[in-house]
Amino acid sequence: MANKQPLSYKMRIIHRYLGFFLAGVMAMYAISGIILVFRRTSFLKQEVKKEQVIAANLPTKAIGETLKIRDFKATKTEGDIVGFGKKNTYNKATGEVVTYKKQYGYVVGKITHLHKSTTNDPLYYLNVFFGLGLLFFVISAFWMYMPGGRILRKGLIFTAAGIILTLVMLFV
C-alpha cells in the first residue's frame, strides 16, 4: 500500500528530528564561530612557554626554517642570544630556544578546531555532514507551510531580506 503522506509532512518530520539530532553540533559551531571572531585578540587565550633545543650556531634564516616560522625576523642580538618576536630567544651557543605563544586552553582549542578542520582531519566528515544538514534545513523550510499561504509569503520576504543583508555585508 502506497504511503499517502504529502511531501510537506515528510519534510517537517525529517526537519524536526534532524534538528534535534544536530542541536549539539549547532551549539558547538555557534560557540566556536563567536570565539573565532576574536581570534586575533587574547580573548580566552593563555600564554604558553615552550623550551626546546635545536642545532647550535644556525644562521638567522635557518632558525626560522627549523622552527617553521614564516616571515621569521630577528629583532635583536646580544652576544649569543638572538631575540625574535616579543619575548622569544635563541641561544647560538647551546641551541636552546624559548618561545612564548598565546593559545586557547584545551576545551576551547578543541571547540575551535571543530570549526577549522580540513580534509586532513577526520572531523571533516562531521563538517560535511553538518553542512549538508544545514542545506537541508534551508530547503525543507520552504515545505513547512502551505504554498500561497500568508506565512510562506512572509517567510519568502524574510528570506529575500536575509539574502540582501548577506550580499550587502559581503560586498559593501
141 & 114 share domain: yes
Question: Is-contact 100 91, C-beta < 8 A?
Answer: no
Total-model pTM: 0.73
Domain, as residue range, for 119: 7-41+106-145
**In terms of pLDDT, which residue wins out, 96 or 5?**
96
54 & 100 share domain: yes
How many domains, in total, are found in the chain? 2
In a domain, 75, yes or no: yes
pLDDT band at residue 2 using 50, 70 and 90 as cut-offs: low
* 60-80 CB burial, b ≥16 within 10 A, e <16: eeebbebbeeeebeeeeeeee
In a domain, 71, yes or no: yes
pLDDT of residue 51: 97
In a domain, 163, yes or no: no
pLDDT band at residue 141 using 50, 70 and 90 as cut-offs: confident
d(CA 40, CA 43) in angstroms, rounded, equals 8
65 & 99 share domain: yes
In a domain, 131, yes or no: yes
User: Considering the chain, what is the average pLDDT of its residues?
Assistant: 92
Give the cell for residue 4.
Answer: 499517502
pLDDT band at residue 143 using 50, 70 and 90 as cut-offs: confident
Question: Is-contact 70 85, C-beta < 8 A?
Answer: no
82 & 34 share domain: no
